[in-house]
Amino acid sequence: MTRHRRDENGAAPDDWLSIGEVSARTGVAVSALRFYEELGLIASERDDRNQRRYPRHMLRRVALVSVAKRIGIPLQDLREAFADVPLDRPPSHAEWQRASRVWRRQLEERRQAIERLEAELTGCIGCGCLSMKACALLNPGDALAEDGAGPRRL
C-alpha cells in the first residue's frame, strides 16, 4: 500500500518521518533501520517516491531496540518481546504494558546474573575462596546436585 504524506485522518505531513529523520532523532544508523525492518522489528510505509515514512510511534520502538541492543539482548529475543505490540498503529497503553512485562522478566534475569557475579567478585575472589565446587556463580543452572563433582554446563 503506497501511502502519501497525508493520511486518511488528515494528519499533517510532519506526522510522518523520513528514514533520515528517524536516524537523527534516535541515533540509529540508516542502514541499521533498514536492517531492523528486514527483521520485522520495525515497519514503515512508503510515499509516492517509494521512500520509507515512519509514523511517530515508531520512534519509541526504535529507541527500545537500540537500548535493548546496548544491554545485550539479542534481536531475536526482541521479536518475542514485541510479539503483541502492533506495528501498523500506535500501540495502546495496555499493549505496551503487556510487552513491558516480557521485557521486565528478561531484564530481571540479566540484572540478577550481574548481581550474582558482583557478589561473587566481592566475596569469593575478594577472600580467595572461589572454590569451583559450591559456587553458585559457576553453576548458573542452580540445579546441578547431580552425581559427580565439579561444575557443569557453564
Partner DNA sequence: TGTTGACCTCAACATTACTTGAGGTCCTAC
Partner DNA sequence: GTAGGACCTCAAGTAATGTTGAGGTCAACA
Residue 132 within binding range of a copy of itself, rule CB under 8 A: yes
CB of 72 to DNA, least distance (A): 8
Instruction: Specify the residue, 31 or 92, whose C-beta has the smaller distance to DNA.
Output: 31
Return phi, psi of residue 55, to 5°.
-70, 155
Binding partner of residue 97 among a copy of itself, DNA, none, CB cut-off 5 to 8 Å per kind:
a copy of itself
State the amino acid at position 97 in one-letter form. Q
Nearest Cα to Cα of residue 73 among 101, 97, 38, 109: 109
CB of 65 to DNA, least distance (A): 7
CB of 83 to a copy of itself, least distance (A): 15
Give the number of C-alpha atoms closer than 13 A to the C-alpha of residue 58, restricted to the C-beta side. 26
Give me the residue label for grid cell 540445579.
143
Binding partner of residue 18 among a copy of itself, DNA, none, CB cut-off 5 to 8 Å per kind:
DNA
